Amino acid sequence: MLGQPATGAAFDAIISARRNHANRNSRRPPEHPDHILSPIHSMDLPVIRSASMASLSGIAHAFTTRNGGVSEGEYSSLNCGRFSGDRPERIEENHRRVLKALGARRLISLRQVHSARVHTIDPSWNGREMVEGDGMVSTDPGMALGVMGADCAPVLLADPENGVVGAAHAGWKGALSDITGNVIGRMCELGARRESVVAVVGPAIQQSSYEVGREFMDRFIESGGTGCERFFDLSRDSIHFDLPGYVVERLKSQGVRHVDCLPHDTCSMTEEFFSYRRNCKRGETRYGRQVGAICLVGE
């Protein structure tokens, strides 16, 4: 959570109408400017893919929207958050649809707590979703690493040359405490090379929607070191923080050469994404979660 304050022709039209506004707040590098919004199998599940990640051999990934699932009410409809308060059987069906979209056999998630804690996922990981953490790595094909989000940035990473994938849940606390650096470090322990890693920052709250107070800015700049002030926009009457831009900068500073940042704003795109901040503004305490998931494709 963050601090207080789609597929088919219709969905494509919404994305196109909002792309210019969203792009002003993105930090996508010019070498990987595109993303793909595509139907999956017969269920027509809307997922978002990075073109740079989709081009990698042996890697499957997807960022879900809130559409294409079975949940109802405030969780409508593809809620993937196990700890959201939604009915477990509906979450399991939503997970099954995501697995089918990825072609994976298991979807692994953690109890996310805005930490810098990373877990290595292997076949012995048996249903331990209650384990706390915000990062995962794996070398096991078919094990999809899923990070939940409803404004925080889901980060997917892959080294296809050495067969290692990773995922990080990066809210401002996790980003500041270097969750992405810890995931990359653990990937390297499993054989990855920093210069071979491709990273994607998925749909998250964009700067135009992320209003913060001066105390937040001062504390963040004090903790984050020199240069952090450039991620705050003071040109308007209020202060706005660029979370995706900060995450991209952290990834690059950690030796990742290829970073893609998708422009979708989870807070403003009401029909496409769940948003913690949007619900807080409405006085609503329950909300669903999207998932960003990645896995190796193989045996």
Q: Look up residue 168 and give its two tokens.
A: 């990080």
72-101 burial code (b ≥16 CB/10 A, e <16): eebbebbbbbbebebeeebbeebbebbbeb
Per-residue pLDDT band at 7 (split at 50, 70, 90) = very low
Domain that residue 32 falls in: 9-296
Looking at the structure of the chain, the number of domains it has is 1
Amino acid at 69: G
The CATH number of residue 162's host domain is 3.60.140.10
* Tokens 């660029």, located at residue: 242
Q: To the nearest whole percent, how much of the chain has pLDDT over 90?
A: 81
Which two tokens mark 94?
């939503």
| Peptide bond preceding 124 in cis form (omega within 30 of 0) | no
Say what the pLDDT of residue 299 is: 62
Q: What is the mean pLDDT of residues 215-228?
A: 92
Of 51-60, 94-103, 125-134, 227-236, the one with minimum mean pLDDT is 125-134
Position 170 in a domain: yes
pLDDT of 113? 97
**What secondary structure letter does DSSP report for 61?**
E
pTM to 2 decimal places? 0.87
In a domain? residue 4: no
In a domain, 3, yes or no: no
User: Does 150 reside within a domain?
Assistant: yes
Residue 91 lies in a domain: yes
Give the pLDDT score at 20. 35
Q: Answer yes or no: is 1 within a domain.
A: no
Whether 2 is in a domain gets the answer no
In a domain, 210, yes or no: yes
Distance, in Å, from the CA atom of 147 to the CA atom of 151, rounded to the nearest integer, reads 12
Task: Show the tokens assigned to 116.
Answer: 């810098």
